[in-house]
Structure 1
């Protein structure tokens, strides 16, 4: 028996590209003279797209239905950027199976409509599909989810299904380095469909006998794996990816649809809040102030590039605010001592990323921009640092209100090691909107 498996991952609501993939599947799958499956490996949802924001991911599920998806798993965007209740209802109308073995509520139950694994029997061959997602523990805990170790979860699920399957396929939203470890730990895996780290393999990669396949990000590729199966065993397997440029052209209207869904007026009077990334503006200062107030902190630091688009209009809609701050970024409260806070201030004054393009960690803008400090001051020539006009004491504990993208170690490595409260599910745009209501 021959089996073709189409796969996508990390679409991140690039829905025009996804529609081209969907059209390709609609044209190609009926041509096959053997069975096929289509699997999505997570992060299809991304609230940076207005239509996804407006529907809390329901539009993405509709598109997966339309593409005749067979099985999907969740990525960190499905798991961490929508509320607990929104994840529980996300797949209510899904016409496909959803599986993930390592996310539970506080009672030990999987999210609604999600199973710990799936066995599909195709022409008498039993295929076990096991999925796991990246363990961003503090983010999941802030949303009342418990995320467990993905390797142990996968092993447990395989053990629980012993003797019930012939082939083993892993849907991994944990990243390529984890997948390489899986190959060494569980060499009986037939296929790993990978994601999360946005990697891709043009023709797959064999590691310890396991075929690894992945299709990049943003719908730039669709993956295709072919398995040759004899006597319930894979005797040949290979993978390929097709660039989106080679897929059918389509006409879509997702941006207009999203704009219409977010057309409610938030402010009904003129507002002028320009965007600059190289200087402090009223726009970025108000964002820093709103984070300061929301986190109930002693001080705040943000970067001006978080403001992606300025607003100059007689009326401000939900769409306008979304375009200004499209990031799935949350505020955080970080406790640190005065010496550590001084080091953060010193590093911020270097303005290392003032003109640099940034991506990842939830950032959905272009230029990172300069740092904006709120309720913090310094006399650089004298190496003196202040909070609310008083000198910072090295051994005193302070609370810094900032954004979660600074807690991953890339911009301020010292913050990763501190005591952090993740304030969820509100995004920066939700916080800023409240500020604008009093503007």
Structure 2
């Protein structure tokens, strides 16, 4: 028996590219003279797309239905950028199975409509699919989910299904380095479909007898794996990619659809909020103030490039705010002592990234921009630093209100290991929208 498995991952709501993939699948699968499956390996949802924001990912599920998806798992975008309740209802109308082995609520239950693993029997061959997602523990905990060790979760499912399957396929939204470790830890795996780190293999990669396949990001590729199966064992496995440029193309209207769904006016009067990345603008100052107030902090630091687009209009709609702050960035409150806070202030004054093209960590802009300090002051020549006009004490504990992007260690290594509260599920745009009502 031959089995062809098509796979996508990290679409991130690049829905025009996904429409091309869906069209190809509709043409290609009926032409095969053997069984086929289509799997999505997570992060199909990304709220940076207006139509995804407006529907909280329901539109993405509709598109997966239209593509006749057979099985999907969740990535960190499905798990962490929508609310607890939204994840529980995301797949209510899915025509496909959803599986994930390592995300539970506080009562130990999987999100609704999910199973810890899934067995599909095709022509007498039992295939066990096990999925796991990246363990961003603080973010999941802030949304009342518990995320467990993905390696142990996968091993538990393998053991739980011992004797019930013939082939083993892992759907990993944990990243390529994890997948490489998985090949060593569980060499009986037949195939790993990988994602999360946006890697891709043009012809797959063999590792300790395990075939690793991955299709990059943003719908740039459709993955295809063909398994030759004899006596309920894989005797040959081949992977390839279909670049999106080779797939059918046509016009789509996802942007217009999203704009229409987000057309409700927030403010019915003229607003002038320009975008500037290299100076302190009124817009950036208002954003910093909104973070300061929402976190109930002593002070705040953000970067001006978080504002992606200005708002200069006679009225402001939900779409305008979304375009201004399209990130899935949350705010955090961080405890640190006065000396550590001084180090953060000093590093911010170097403005190392003011003209840098930034990406990743939830950022959806282009230029990082300069740092904006709120309720903070300093006299560098005298090495004096102030909060609310009072000099900072080295031993006193302060609360810094800022964005989750700074807790990963790239911009401010000092902040990575400090006690941090992740304030979710509100995004920057939700917080700024409330502030804008005072404008």
Fold similarity call, TM over 0.5: yes
Q: CA deviation at 1:243?
A: 0.9
Whole-angstrom distance in 2 between the partners of 1:305 and 1:287? 11
Counterpart check, 1:99 vs 2:120 = no
Counterpart check, 1:55 vs 2:55 = yes
2:251 alignment counterpart? 251
Q: Secondary structure at the match of 2:353?
A: coil
2:25 alignment counterpart? 25
1:131 alignment counterpart? 131
Equivalent pairs, count: 439
Q: CA deviation at 1:422?
A: 0.2
1:24-423 aligned at under 5 Å gives the runs 24-423=24-423
Counterpart check, 1:432 vs 2:432 = yes
Q: Secondary structure at the match of 1:291?
A: helix
Whole-angstrom distance in 1 between the partners of 2:392 and 2:163? 64
Q: CA deviation at 1:142?
A: 0.4
Whole-angstrom distance in 2 between the partners of 1:163 and 1:193? 23
Q: Secondary structure at the match of 1:62?
A: helix
* CA-to-aligned-CA distance 1:184-240 (integer Å, 9 cap, x gap): 000000000000000000100000000000000000001000100000000000101
* CA-to-aligned-CA distance 1:243-263 (integer Å, 9 cap, x gap): 111111121000000000000
Q: CA deviation at 1:383?
A: 1.4
Whole-angstrom distance in 1 between the partners of 2:315 and 2:204? 51
2:9 alignment counterpart? 9
Q: Secondary structure at the match of 2:312?
A: strand
Q: CA deviation at 1:8?
A: 0.3
Q: Secondary structure at the match of 2:24?
A: helix
Q: Secondary structure at the match of 1:211?
A: strand
Q: Secondary structure at the match of 1:425?
A: coil
Query: Any stretches of 5+ residues in structure 2 without a counterpart?
Result: none
Q: CA deviation at 1:298?
A: 0.2
Query: Any stretches of 5+ residues in structure 1 without a counterpart?
Result: none
TM-score by length of 1: 1.00
Q: CA deviation at 1:414?
A: 1.0
Q: Secondary structure at the match of 1:351?
A: coil
Q: CA deviation at 1:325?
A: 0.3
Whole-angstrom distance in 2 between the partners of 1:100 and 1:206? 24
Q: CA deviation at 1:367?
A: 0.7
* CA-to-aligned-CA distance 1:378-420 (integer Å, 9 cap, x gap): 1111111111111111111000000001001111111010000
Moved more, 376-385 or 110-119: 376-385
Whole-angstrom distance in 2 between the partners of 1:352 and 1:201? 34
* CA-to-aligned-CA distance 1:162-186 (integer Å, 9 cap, x gap): 0000000000000000000000000
Whole-angstrom distance in 2 between the partners of 1:183 and 1:306? 39
Provide the aligned C-alpha RMSD in A. Answer: 0.4
* CA-to-aligned-CA distance 1:286-345 (integer Å, 9 cap, x gap): 000000000000000000000000000010000000000000000100000011111111
Moved more, 382-391 or 288-297: 382-391
Whole-angstrom distance in 2 between the partners of 1:270 and 1:335? 39
Whole-angstrom distance in 2 between the partners of 1:326 and 1:79? 18
Moved over 4 A (4+): none
Q: CA deviation at 1:242?
A: 1.2
Whole-angstrom distance in 1 between the partners of 2:63 and 2:336? 45
Whole-angstrom distance in 2 between the partners of 1:69 and 1:411? 39
Moved more, 90-99 or 375-384: 375-384
Q: CA deviation at 1:281?
A: 0.1
